[in-house]
Amino acid sequence: MPDPQTFRTFCTFTLDNTRLGIDVRHVRESFYLPPHFTQIPLAPPLLVGVTVFQQSVLPVLKIHSFLNMPNSSRTATTSVIAVEVNDYQVGIWSDTVPRLRMVDPAGLHVPDEPQPYVSYLFQHEEDLISVLDLPVLLQDAQHQLEID
């Protein structure tokens, strides 16, 4: 029996019916996309707007394009996952309410074919979950926002 203290915890969510995960060490909080969400005119498609989070303005990113996924529309379950990597804090758009999953490290697998922004895969019930390499993804997102 594996020691539960060695398990890794991931925040799992859905984009376009694809299950994704983020290492919980990067997650600050998740919340429903608020009604007072502010869209930014002429912003690049990656930056869908801003909201107030813990008395600060939090940019909200739709990472669909980075993962070659079609864009999704806001629904009743659209959520924001507030994440932080190297003092860079943003919100990640999620089509569903995120859930926490504990995973035995033996169940984490490196993809057979290299996939940009995916560091591991793991099985949870019927779903294969792709764990995002959030530091790399956010570095590229930040670079794209600086260029646009």
Amino acid at 103: V
Domain boundaries, the chain: 4-147
Architecture of the domain defined by 4-147: Beta Barrel (2.40)
At 125, the pLDDT band (50, 70, 90 cuts) reads confident
Q: For residue 21, what pLDDT is reported?
A: 98
Answer whether 27's CB lies under 8 Å from 13's CB. no
pLDDT at residue 123, rounded to an integer: 93
Q: Given its phi and psi angles, is residue 95 left (phi above 0), alpha (psi -120 to 50 degrees) or beta?
A: alpha
Q: How confident is the model over 91-107, as a mean pLDDT?
A: 95
Q: Is the predicted pLDDT of residue 1 greater than 60, yes or no? A: no
- Mean pLDDT for the stretch of residues 94-110: 94
End-to-end CA, the chain: 51
Q: What does the pLDDT read at residue 36?
A: 77
Across 105-144, b (16+ Cβ under 10 Å) vs e yields eeeeeeeeeeeebbbbbbebeeeebbbbbbeebbeebbeb
Q: Does 114 have pLDDT greater than 90?
A: no
Between the alpha carbon of residue 4 and those of residues 97, 108, 138, the distances in Å are: 25, 15, 30
Rounded mean pLDDT, 102-130 = 93
- What pLDDT is attached to residue 148? 54
For residue 3, what pLDDT is reported? Answer: 63
Q: What residues form DSSP beta bridges with 82?
A: 29, 91
Tens digits of per-residue pLDDT, 52-93? 888 889 999 999 988 989 888 888 999 999 999 998 999 999
